[in-house]
Structure 1
């Protein structure tokens, strides 16, 4: 019934469609309101039916859950919130039976402050081997009362916290580029490097097919930990290589990834590393996927591109050129657990910086139907491009960003560290709907949900869309089937002539036309048979729509 992974080539990842599962919000088997591994296993058939090649699991490791599992206290065990190691083994085995590979997150930049390494560091004296695993420094100013430098946390506020020593006196400061509960590791230490070699091997031995590496642009900090001026930050954000961040995209990370590449490929040529690397410009990000480093890197530049003809054409050209220059496939992605869902984001009328999130009173909010229409068009455009593609759970249902979450129910540390200035990422992490008439829309049988689901989500439920012609779910399923049938992931890309306000390109025997903001285009002027469209067509391709056409022989 399903394909087998044994029949797929070792370089399967070059054209794979990989589906991100956010375990807290996918499916909840025990009814406590938080998704879990048995819940995921129970729903894997739906993903095989959808037609994806692999699943990627966000963290499920032991964690106090201060940052939804990205604060790991034990990298080699499953948090009881999600199940057991045996539950993971059952999940991996079932996924493989269904012909899907399993990629798991690994979080090497930092640990939880509850990790035994950090507990040992706090109990030990300054200068000890235990503290050397982390980035501890003396403070500045009288009595060391000021942070070692001016770095700010990605989640807002200072990136340094002072500890109280064993004798009760104020002591050293430790670096946490993210939450205060996520102390950064010191990757100049061989002990840290060797420990992560073992962590990778632990999961490879359990059958995982690869790792998505969190903050793959981090880990290495500039010598001396220099201050980082506002001018330098602005330049780095714009991709100026003359003003690099002292804590992101340092050249020393590449040595680490070459080592990891050796560890991973020793378990088989079909095992992969995927970089979460927020690096600009694209030719620089492509350094993460040279042949002896990572296999793929998320194309965040594409994700953040607006719904604009010139911008899209430029980023597609840059992506294919930059990744191709190092022999890697480009990847394409529109949504994940850290960004506003593209069914909302692509139709915003006011810029929303990454990580800020949206709430009920945010400016520039779009009409829901307009956002979904544009998202469907963007998805068909993305899935027609050669290379790998990533889907985020629920986007195949057309889910928009959830805006109306009560302040006292929000969970994202960004919300708390910015005193409510930024809504953060909760809106894209709400548990997804499976059954229109079930408690919690089928997320579980009890109706519990760690983030509240909108009351009007019944039309988005999978069972409400399954088999319904024109539904977003069936659009995705059809697109993935045709993508595989026509080998678009390994196809040859060429731009085609297009009228103003549109994009057109050929990939193998398919022509793709996306109408961004032009008037309706008569279908007979396109000269080919329609095989898939993002919206109903009445003799013309309207704006905010994409069509796949069979090219004339």
Structure 2
């Protein structure tokens, strides 16, 4: 493999942005850790906090500024920790609060910050709040902390169609479960083990805010807020529209951006963040959010959130259903990301990501993992295009190695409740099991959850025991140990991209301008930093064939900041990009 990288001195790794900057996160890079799969310190096959502690230098050397931990709270693990049973403790399989404090101190000692995952649309059904709510009955002190409703008039409770409305769960089936002991249905937009909190109750909100203050007082630097735009439900919980013969309406769609969402977010800001001496980071995961809504949520003057996660670009390769993939059209991707770049310009702020714990591996999805040169080249091209957009980039564990989808072939290979439920419901409805498995092979969340690949050795160096989910067999060539030793690896390209964001202000603050919007091969754009008189030109070939593209006037001979091919053709009036080539040029302009 020979993919030397052209790099200017300004693109070499350097330190994070200075502390105390009110908007420090604008020039930062966030790294998401899925603790269950990152590093196992005790050989039980499950990652843990001490495992993360032992790998902090990998993250520090990569250059990231912020670590985001997926949930580490006590949980029955029905949805791998997104079903929280206690908000103010640590799941024993991950460690203890003392372990957490030690990890937090070590993160801060390295000049990094730590953000917690906040899951407050719902809890586990094993949370004491739900146990009290279930046991109280109507009128009890915690009964109204969750959403309880009787069966539809005249219908037998627990029978199909007797649910209070026709909402469906994101994890298949109805969004309501009949609780015999309580004599009522409770709402769960996800698993039946994840009952929704009732945010209309001010006691619920105050309990959530007190918990958030407790973590901030402990030293954490902010929160990523899981499905936070579902917390406000429509009054009366009306039926939703049913399409395509489906038995249920989309419960998530019925709850996105409810009538009191902005009120709740502003109240949260006042109660939790407004008087903090140190600037925290708040990121709201918001399925279905529009550009206009995101602009309002991230407008600093509205005191809600710093940025949101949106999913529009993650649905472009899906044919009406998550598990029915279709080829990505590059023009669709440009139109989507370009709309968000322009829509949030000057007021809001973008989060930038390809991967997270809910998405398959990007190099298998939008790139080419069929051979080693293409895997490395396409992974570095995708990283270059993403990181040079306007916003804060997120790196998901293993993305910096170019990790790929796992070669799962049986439903028994999967661990995710969503994947297993989808398979069971689809096959029961008459779908061909082979077709259902093909959809999971392309799009399952479990592809992001296979163990981090540290070495070529047994279990990829993740654990000395039996891993909770199978290790991808390609770890023998795709692993951190090999990547760190190879200056042409995906890892070192990520290091240079992160350093470039720290060292070149135009990357964080430059205005975005899309080029070649109708080209199906090449993603091209400019970043303008008028204050510094600097412009950046970014080119990414999204194909496995060479592509010739015209350059804007004045870019002939421009400095090459970063590229992913050896001896790239010089910038001229046109340039021929090699398969999966990426490059960043820089020039100074008069101000």
TM-score normalised by length of structure 1: 0.88
Question: Which whole-Å CA distance do the structure 1 matches of 2:549 and 2:510 have between them?
Answer: 27
Q: Answer yes or no: is the 8 Å Cα contact 2:170–2:252 preserved in 1.
A: no
The corresponding residue for 2:22 is 10
Relative to structure 1, the CA distance from residue 303 to residue 100 in structure 2 (aligned partners, 3 Å threshold; closer, same or farther) is: farther
Q: Answer yes or no: is the 8 Å Cα contact 1:486–1:509 preserved in 2.
A: no
Question: Which whole-Å CA distance do the structure 2 matches of 1:305 and 1:374 have between them?
Answer: 19
Q: Answer yes or no: is the 8 Å Cα contact 1:15–1:386 preserved in 2.
A: no
The corresponding residue for 2:510 is 491
The corresponding residue for 1:47 is 59
Deviates more, 1:173-182 or 1:529-538: 529-538
Question: Which of 93, 111, 123 does residue 99 from structure 1 map onto?
Answer: 111
The corresponding residue for 1:204 is 216
The corresponding residue for 1:452 is 470
Question: Which whole-Å CA distance do the structure 2 matches of 1:531 and 1:303 have between them?
Answer: 29
Query: Deviation at 1:526?
Result: 5.2
Question: Which whole-Å CA distance do the structure 1 matches of 2:564 and 2:191 have between them?
Answer: 40
Say if 2:564 is the partner of 1:534: yes
Question: Which whole-Å CA distance do the structure 2 matches of 1:184 and 1:142 have between them?
Answer: 23
Question: Which of 382, 398, 403 does residue 399 from structure 1 map onto?
Answer: 403
Q: Answer yes or no: is the 8 Å Cα contact 1:157–1:418 preserved in 2.
A: no
Query: Deviation at 1:296?
Result: 0.9
The corresponding residue for 1:144 is 157
Query: Deviation at 1:273?
Result: 1.1
Question: Which whole-Å CA distance do the structure 1 matches of 2:74 and 2:510 have between them?
Answer: 41
Say if 2:258 is the partner of 1:250: yes
Corresponding residue SS for 1:503:
strand
The corresponding residue for 1:30 is 42
Corresponding residue SS for 2:390:
coil
Question: Which whole-Å CA distance do the structure 2 matches of 1:317 and 1:220 have between them?
Answer: 29
Question: Which whole-Å CA distance do the structure 2 matches of 1:293 and 1:521 have between them?
Answer: 44
Say if 2:446 is the partner of 1:443: no
Q: Answer yes or no: is the 8 Å Cα contact 2:75–2:81 preserved in 1.
A: yes
Say if 2:481 is the partner of 1:469: no
Question: Which of 165, 170, 181 does residue 154 from structure 1 map onto?
Answer: 170
Question: Which of 496, 517, 525 does residue 505 from structure 1 map onto?
Answer: 525
Higher relative contact order (CA 8 A, sep 6+): 2
The corresponding residue for 1:353 is none
Listed one character per residue, the Cα deviations across residues 36-56 of structure 1 (whole Å, up to 9, x for unaligned) are 111111111111110111010
Deviates more, 1:144-153 or 1:520-529: 520-529
Query: Deviation at 1:345?
Result: 1.5
Q: Answer yes or no: is the 8 Å Cα contact 2:253–2:288 preserved in 1.
A: no
The corresponding residue for 1:382 is 386
The corresponding residue for 1:357 is none
Q: Answer yes or no: is the 8 Å Cα contact 1:5–1:99 preserved in 2.
A: no
Corresponding residue SS for 1:142:
coil
Question: Which whole-Å CA distance do the structure 1 matches of 2:105 and 2:234 have between them?
Answer: 42
The corresponding residue for 2:499 is 481
Question: Which whole-Å CA distance do the structure 1 matches of 2:15 and 2:385 have between them?
Answer: 26
Say if 2:99 is the partner of 1:73: no
Listed one character per residue, the Cα deviations across residues 183-211 of structure 1 (whole Å, up to 9, x for unaligned) are 11111111100100111011001101100
Question: Which of 97, 101, 108 does residue 89 from structure 1 map onto?
Answer: 101
Say if 2:134 is the partner of 1:114: no
Question: Which whole-Å CA distance do the structure 2 matches of 1:440 and 1:188 have between them?
Answer: 47
Question: Which whole-Å CA distance do the structure 1 matches of 2:209 and 2:518 have between them?
Answer: 53
Relative to structure 1, the CA distance from residue 371 to residue 160 in structure 2 (aligned partners, 3 Å threshold; closer, same or farther) is: farther
Listed one character per residue, the Cα deviations across residues 208-244 of structure 1 (whole Å, up to 9, x for unaligned) are 110000011101111111111125999xx99xxxx99
Question: Which whole-Å CA distance do the structure 2 matches of 1:233 and 1:202 have between them?
Answer: 47
Listed one character per residue, the Cα deviations across residues 44-88 of structure 1 (whole Å, up to 9, x for unaligned) are 111111011101000000111111000000000001010111111
TM-score normalised by length of structure 2: 0.82
Query: Deviation at 1:16?
Result: 1.8
Q: Answer yes or no: is the 8 Å Cα contact 1:265–1:271 preserved in 2.
A: no
Relative to structure 1, the CA distance from residue 460 to residue 282 in structure 2 (aligned partners, 3 Å threshold; closer, same or farther) is: same
Deviates more, 1:420-429 or 1:98-107: 420-429
Question: Which whole-Å CA distance do the structure 2 matches of 1:552 and 1:499 have between them?
Answer: 27
Question: Which whole-Å CA distance do the structure 1 matches of 2:274 and 2:370 have between them?
Answer: 47
Question: Which of 266, 272, 288 does residue 275 from structure 2 map onto?
Answer: 266
Aligned residues: 523
Deviates more, 1:243-252 or 1:144-153: 243-252
Relative to structure 1, the CA distance from residue 405 to residue 244 in structure 2 (aligned partners, 3 Å threshold; closer, same or farther) is: closer
Relative to structure 1, the CA distance from residue 212 to residue 265 in structure 2 (aligned partners, 3 Å threshold; closer, same or farther) is: same
Say if 2:446 is the partner of 1:430: no
Listed one character per residue, the Cα deviations across residues 74-132 of structure 1 (whole Å, up to 9, x for unaligned) are 00000101011111111111111111111110101111010111111222223423221
Two-structure CA RMSD over aligned residues (Å)? 2.8
Runs of 5+ unmatched residues, structure 2: 1-12, 318-327, 427-435, 528-533, 570-575
